[in-house]
């Protein structure tokens, strides 16, 4: 299993860069970053809190790292025309030397779409748009020219050069919708991501496999990843703040041995990559210590 870190988008650029450089040094597989323009206002979060733009960050990280994979988790296809997005991702990949993964999703955050004048639409509309964008992106990343006249996007004999710095740039589709999103992933994606506990990963992979069979693909060819928040408890109960902040999200909680067992359950369920959000460690020193501890006590059990 591979392990990647997910810095919070309200960090300063210096903090994000420090986390990425440390992750590369300590043997992490990748660094992911969210694509939003403003906070999703809830609780004590203010709409004016800072949020870094993902592709600017990824280009910067491509220049200050040498090995880790880099990608958005994920870019909403409501934000950028897929032809523009293909060009952005391919150029960033050139900077990185072939380490970028293009992660896309249907979009969900209402307040930023309203604030920036972007059309979100209902769930069926978002699913249709994602399918169309994924089809265009897949072609732009692989084919010399792409033509598609769709309901949401149109490209006519469109080139995308230069493409990836190495093999074709991987396309990741994120989301857990069984009827539409997983079908889009089966048709077009190299990778699929969902916030899944092990039992849910098993169920979703079974649905993905059925869609792959209908699309003439092998589900084993699609890399699967999930996220989980981490809390070392050393035998005590997890803090109430951690429980409140992670309600409904997968977590890894307990002693190092217990967390190793929980990670193994994710791997057994079919997760090829586990992504650790560092969002709850606001103090830079604590963040660095916790990520380093995870590398030494957890990752080492799977990477030797």
Cβ contacts of residue 19 below 8 Å, gap of 6+? Answer: 5, 7, 11, 31, 278, 287, 288, 291
Q: What is the pLDDT of residue 45?
A: 61
* Run of H or E residues at 162: none
Q: What is the pLDDT of residue 87?
A: 97
pLDDT, tens only, 234-276:
878 888 999 999 999 999 999 999 999 999 999 999 999 999 9
For the ranges 136-145, 237-246, 277-286, which has the lowest average pLDDT?
237-246
Question: Which sign, positive or negative, has the C-alpha torsion 266, 267, 273, 275?
Answer: positive
Q: How far apart are CA 252 and CA 274, in angstroms?
A: 11
Number of neighbouring beta carbons within 10 Å of residue 60 = 18
What is the mean pLDDT of the segment spanning 167-191? Answer: 97
Give 81-122 as a DSSP string. Answer: -HHHHHHHHHHHHHHHTS-B-EEEE----HHHHHHHT-----
Mean pLDDT of the chain: 96
Q: How far apart are CA 259 and CA 255, in angstroms?
A: 6
> First-to-last CA distance in the chain?
11
Residue 197: pLDDT band (50, 70, 90) is: very high
What is the mean pLDDT of the segment spanning 276-287? Answer: 96
Number of neighbouring beta carbons within 10 Å of residue 136 = 27
What is the mean pLDDT of the segment spanning 175-189? Answer: 98
Q: What residues does 169 pair with on adjacent strands?
A: none
Position 44 pLDDT exceeds 90:
no
Residue 41: pLDDT band (50, 70, 90) is: confident
Buried (b) or exposed (e) across 285-294, using 16+ Cβ within 10 A?
eebbebbeeb
**In the chain, where does DSSP find H-type helix?**
13-25, 54-64, 82-96, 110-116, 123-142, 181-188, 198-215, 240-245, 256-269, 284-294, 300-303
Residue 46: pLDDT band (50, 70, 90) is: confident
What is the mean pLDDT of the segment spanning 281-287? Answer: 95
| Axis-axis angle for helices 54-64, 82-96 (nearest 10) | 20
Closest to 265 measured CA to CA, from 276, 250, 279, 278: 250
- Report the phi/psi class of residue 216: left, alpha or beta, with left for phi > 0 and alpha for psi in -120 to 50: left
Distances (CA, A) of 194 to 93, 146, 174: 23, 29, 6
Closest to 131 measured CA to CA, from 185, 192, 170, 184: 184
pTM value is 0.96
Domain 11-226, what fold? TIM Barrel (3.20.20)
Q: What is the pLDDT of residue 166?
A: 79
Structural tokens at position 206? 């079974």
pLDDT, tens only, 110-133:
999 999 999 999 999 999 999 999
Position 151 pLDDT exceeds 70:
yes
Q: How far apart are CA 249 and CA 258, in angstroms?
A: 18
Q: What is the pLDDT of residue 216?
A: 98
Residue 43: pLDDT band (50, 70, 90) is: low
């Amino acid at each position: 299993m591979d392990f990647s870190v997910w810095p919070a988008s309200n960090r300063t650029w210096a903090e994000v860069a420090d986390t990425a450089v440390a992750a590369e040094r300590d043997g992490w597989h990748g660094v992911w970053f969210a694509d939003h323009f403003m906070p999703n206002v809830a609780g004590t979060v203010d709409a004016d809190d800072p949020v870094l733009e993902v592709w600017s960050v990824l280009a910067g990280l491509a220049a200050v790292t040498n090995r880790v994979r880099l990608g958005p988790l994920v870019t909403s296809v409501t934000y950028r025309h897929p032809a523009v997005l293909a060009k952005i991702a391919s150029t960033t990949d050139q900077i990185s030397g072939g380490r970028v993964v293009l992660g896309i999703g249907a979009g969900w955050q209402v307040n930023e779409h309203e604030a920036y004048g972007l059309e979100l639409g209902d769930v069926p509309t978002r699913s249709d748009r994602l399918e169309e964008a994924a089809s265009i992106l897949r072609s732009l990343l692989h084919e010399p020219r792409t033509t598609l006249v769709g309901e949401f996007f149109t490209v006519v004999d469109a080139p995308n050069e230069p493409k990836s710095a190495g093999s074709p740039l991987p396309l990741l589709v994120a989301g857990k919708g069984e009827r539409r999103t997983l079908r889009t992933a089966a048709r077009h994606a190299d990778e699929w991501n969902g916030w899944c506990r092990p039992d849910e990963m098993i169920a979703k992979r079974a649905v993905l496999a059925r869609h792959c069979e209908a699309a003439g693909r092998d589900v084993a060819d699609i890399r699967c990843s999930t996220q989980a928040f981490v809390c070392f408890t050393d035998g005590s109960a997890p803090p109430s703040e951690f429980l409140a902040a992670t309600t409904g999200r997968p977590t890894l909680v307990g002693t190092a041995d217990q967390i190793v067992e929980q990670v193994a359950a994710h791997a057994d369920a079919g997760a090829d990559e586990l992504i650790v959000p560092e969002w709850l460690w606001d103090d830079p020193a604590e963040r660095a210590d916790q990520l380093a501890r995870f590398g030494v006590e957890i990752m080492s059990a799977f990477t030797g």
